[in-house]
Each structure stands twice: as C-alpha cells, then as structure tokens.
Amino acid sequence: MRQSEVITVIGAGYVGLTAAVLFASVGHKVHLIDVNESRIKHLKRGKSFFYEQGIEPLIKRSIKTNNFLPTMTYKDAISESDFVFSCVGTPDNPDGSSNLSYVFAAAEEALKYMRPGTIYIQKSTVPVGTGRHIEKLFSSSKNKIDYVSNPEFLGEGTAISDSLWPDRIVAGAANHLAAKKVVLLHKGISKTAPRIARLAGLEPKKNKTEYYITNLNSAELIKVTANAFLALKISFANSIAKLADRAGADIKEVMGGVGSDRRIGAAFLNAGRGYGGGCFPKDVSGLISSAAEHGVDLHIMTAASDVNSSMPGYIAAKAKEALGGLSNKEVAVLGLAFKAGTSDARRSPGVKLANILSREGAKVTAYDPKANSEAREDLLKRVILAESAEAAIKDKDAVFIATDWPEFKDLDLVNTKRLMTGNIIVDCMNTLDKKRVEACNLTYLGVGC
C-alpha cells in the first residue's frame, strides 16, 4: 500500500462525503463525484450541505491542501484512480424493494474509464446478490476490475467519530488480496485518527476495531442484517412499552434491567416514537423483499416494521386522551430531525407525528434546531415552523418532544410551564426525567412510562 493513493468516491452524501474527506485527511488524493451540481458547488467552497459535527473543518482543510477534488465528471477522476468507492443512494421502490438504479448507473459509468487492476468498492447498502451482478457487468470489460463489498456502518450525527473508530470493517470479495487492500486503506484512517479528530474538533476515543474479510455475499448480508437487528430491538422495546403502559410498569426500568444482561445489551432498547431516517425503514423493507425473492418469508421483520409504523399514532392517541380530544388544541412538536445531531429529516417520526396531530385537528407549531428547512417539504402546509423552542412552546396546550436534542433534554421546564397555556409534556423519546417534569406542575406522558 502506497502512502498516497488516488481514490475516487462516487456519491457525495453522508457516506461518500465522510469517506472522501477522511481519505483526503490521511493524505490520499481524492476525487469526489456527484451528479448534483449544488452539492459539488457547496463542497468546492469548503461547505457541507448538511449538518454533521466535525465535517466542515475537514472539508475546508482538504480543499486548501488541494487533495480533495469535488467534481461532476467521471472521466478524469476514474481514469487515474486505484480505488473507486461507490456511495450512491439506494432508496426503496414503492413496493419496498431496493432501488438499485443509482448503483448500476455509477458502476456502468465508472467501467468506461477504469484502468486494469482498479478495485471497485461498494459502500452503498445493497441486497445480497447485488455484487455478483456487478461482477458480471465488469467481466464484460477487457480490463480486470476487482469488486469488493465494504459496507458502511456510520451513524448520522456521529459520522466522523464512527469512521475514525469503527467497531468493525467488513470487506467481502472473490479476490482476497483486493479485500485486504481495502482493509489496509481503512487501517490508514485508524492510524491517523487522533490527528484527524483534532482537526475536526472531536474528542479522541479508544476502541478496538475488528476486521472481517468474508465472501462477497456474506459482506452484503452482514450490513442489512445488522440494521435489521437494530430496528428489531427498537420495535421489540416499543411493543413491550405498550404492555408497560397497560400494566403500570415503567419501560425505562424494564429495559434497564433487561439490557444489563450482557448477552442482550442496553443499546437500541429505548422505546419511543420509533425509528426513522434514510436507512432503517428502507433497509428493513429491502431485506423483507430480498428474502421473499429467495423464497423466505421474513415475517419477524414485517412485524418490526408494522410496530414501528404504529408508534407516532399510538403517541397521538395517548395525548388525545389526556387532552380530551385534539381538535383545535394548540400543540408544539420539538424535533423534526430523525435523530439528534443531524439536519436529516428523511422519514422523520417527528414529522409524521406533527402531520398526524394536524390531521386530527390540532393546531401544530414545530421546531428543530437544524432540520426546519429539510422537514418543510414533508410537513403538511398548515403546520407552522417556529424559529426557536420558546416561540414554539408559547401558548400551547401540549408540547411533544420528538427528537432528543440536548436543548430539548435540558429544557428550562419552569419557563416552559410559564409560557404554556396547558400543562402536558409528551416525551416521545422518554428522554426527560419524569420527576423533574412533574416537580414543575406539568403532566408527564411518556411511551411505556
């Protein structure tokens, strides 16, 4: 492995941009291709088009050192690259299956310019078997191109730190040596992690990364299975939360006790308004669909998906009962990003909740510290956006906390009570301390507590 390789990353989204700036920060020469002109223009000016902690200082620095080259043109970038990473979107089709049109379009375009010996690496999340089809496409070329599945496990909001200190790197390929080279590229990031973290303004972390070299199909299936299992844990917790509500138990105590069993683990057992985002919903439906193609009925995941879809409505119904109806009630929804730490509002449970409340006749004002503008197009027109939490809360009968942003977790509850007309706080992510809420003469409604 040379100190400085030439790398092309295709797709300047959360995954592609993160990978590109990290490889550039290590010292490689990195081209980043996207078909979206506005994204490329932003990047050339040293700016990210989404909020992600630590990413902008790295973009700015790599643009200055001239080894991070955003472009809309494949030819010059690909033809001089040793490694080509595909990080394009894999959204769902209307029937839930994975839409692989961007994956194949990128591979076909790159194939025109790849030199013999180039390694083409798939970071996008794809159904098991996709790589085999791309290998077939590549075998039509006179040049020998190796294909490696190298799925990405970063989470939004922690993208840089997850990539500097990953739990594992998976590389699956027919050619073991090609997979090994991809692992080495990632080891280069780990070696430089403390320096890159300093540049990004992030706290250093300690963890041990596991490296898995597998066959191609296993690598693809590891990724979708990991996401499905995390989604399953959340829906399991939400199912038990509904029982806890009926039985008078407290889901936080229940899952605290359950999760302390090391065989189970406490992560992803937080009950609430369910999972959203650009990944879990479409990855779960994609896995169900890909299993069905292989003749396997993955009804465990269909159940997880159904439970998830039910949660915003379940919370709205709980609030409706406490408020004695929703019609003409003034409510605030705080949190439109699908999780804290990001401006991403794709498939956001907060947005879904705001729309349900509005359809039920409530007058809804919503606010998010970073996602107001991204959420706008998915919100019903009559949902009003506020410029601050205080402005959203003012004169409301009920306040819904739909995303666990620190500013909502640490909400000044005395001031909240003073600003509100009513007194109901709906903690849609079980993020507040119930006793602290009740001490301010507010009524607390959680999910399973």
Among 6, 221, 279, 398, binds ligand UGA (CB under 6 A): 279
Kindly report the backbone phi and psi dihedral angles of residue 363, in degrees, each rounded to the nearest multiple of 5, phi listed first: -95, 110
User: Closer CB to ligand NAD, residue 61 or residue 223?
Assistant: 223
Encoded tokens for 365? 């004002």
Interacting stretch for ligand NAD, rule CB under 6 A, among 150-158, 201-209, 299-307, 432-440? 150-158
Q: Is the CA virtual torsion 341, 345, 347, 351 positive or negative?
A: positive
Encoded tokens for 189? 């990031």
Residue 77 carries which DSSP code? H
Footprint of ligand NAD on residues 84-113 (CB under 6 A)? 87-90, 102, 105-106
The amino acid at residue 414 is V
Among 6, 7, 9, 15, binds ligand NAD (CB under 6 A): 15
Question: Do the strands 168-173 and 146-149 form a parallel or antiparallel pair, or are they unpaired?
Answer: antiparallel
Q: By C-alpha distance, which of 215, 105, 137, 235 is closest to 171?
A: 215
User: Closer CB to ligand UGA, residue 125 or residue 285?
Assistant: 125
Among 181, 252, 339, 346, binds ligand UGA (CB under 6 A): 339
Encoded tokens for 194? 């403390």
Binding to ligand NAD by CB under 6 A, coded x per residue (else -) over 28-67, reads: -----xxxx--x----------------------------
Rounded Cα distance between 131 and 122, Å, is 8
CB of 353 to ligand NAD, least distance (A): 22
Kindly report the backbone phi and psi dihedral angles of residue 59, in degrees, each rounded to the nearest multiple of 5, phi listed first: -65, -50
Instruction: Tell me the number of residues near ligand UGA by CB under 6 A.
Output: 21
Q: Which residue among 279, 428, 440, 449 is the active-site one?
A: 279
Could you tell me which residues are beta bridge partners of residue 71?
33
CB of 62 to ligand NAD, least distance (A): 18
User: Closer CB to ligand UGA, residue 104 or residue 268?
Assistant: 268
Among 70, 278, 281, 446, binds ligand NAD (CB under 6 A): 278
User: Closer CB to ligand NAD, residue 154 or residue 383?
Assistant: 154
Edge to edge, the sheet with strand 424-427 lists 384-385, 363-367, 330-334, 398-401, 424-427, 443-445
How many residues are listed for the chain in this entry? 449
Q: By C-alpha distance, which of 113, 114, 88, 91 is closest to 103?
A: 88
Select the binding partner of residue 272 from ligand NAD, ligand UGA, none (C-beta < 5 to 8 A, by kind): ligand UGA
User: Closer CB to ligand UGA, residue 297 or residue 306?
Assistant: 306
Q: Is 323 in the site for ligand NAD (CB under 6 A)?
A: no
Instruction: Tell me the number of residues near ligand NAD by CB under 6 A.
Output: 27
Footprint of ligand NAD on residues 174-193 (CB under 6 A)? none
> Would you call 279 a catalytic residue per the annotation?
yes
- State whether residue 61 is helix, strand or coil: helix
Q: By C-alpha distance, which of 111, 44, 120, 113 is closest to 77?
A: 113
Rounded Cα distance between 98 and 125, Å, is 9
Q: Residues with catalytic annotation?
A: 279
Residues that bind ligand NAD (CB under 6 A): 10-16, 33-36, 39, 87-90, 102, 105-106, 124-125, 152, 154-156, 278-279
Residues that bind ligand UGA (CB under 6 A): 125, 152-156, 227, 230, 234, 268-270, 272, 274-277, 279-280, 338-339
